[in-house]
Amino acid sequence: MEMTRQAVTQHLQLLEEANLVAVVWQGREKLHYLNPVPLHEIHARWISKFEHSRLDALRNLKKKLEGEDK
């Protein structure tokens, strides 16, 4: 990826402000780590709603296909 150092810094700053990354200073180095808590909350609030119907459809398909085999 071709990104300038300034662009990377701006993206990391936005992620910090959104609390999606945690920052740890080690001397002059600034280390960034993913913060899994808000990611999990996003998944629980938004993505899981759509997962249930798809998982139910796959389970029903599996049952139907297995029933036809017997």
Grade residue 68 by pLDDT with cuts at 50, 70 and 90.
Answer: low
One domain for residues 57 and 43 = yes
Q: Say whether pLDDT at 10 is over 90.
A: yes
Query: What is the domain extent for residue 70?
Result: 36-70
pTM: 0.58
Half-sphere exposure (Cβ direction) of 36: Cα atoms closer than 13 Å: 0
Q: What is the pLDDT of residues 14-23, one digit of tens each?
A: 999 999 999 9
One domain for residues 30 and 40 = no
One domain for residues 20 and 44 = no
One domain for residues 69 and 59 = yes
Pair 33, 24: CB distance under 8 Å: yes
The structural domain count of the chain equals 2
One domain for residues 70 and 42 = yes
Pair 41, 18: CB distance under 8 Å: no
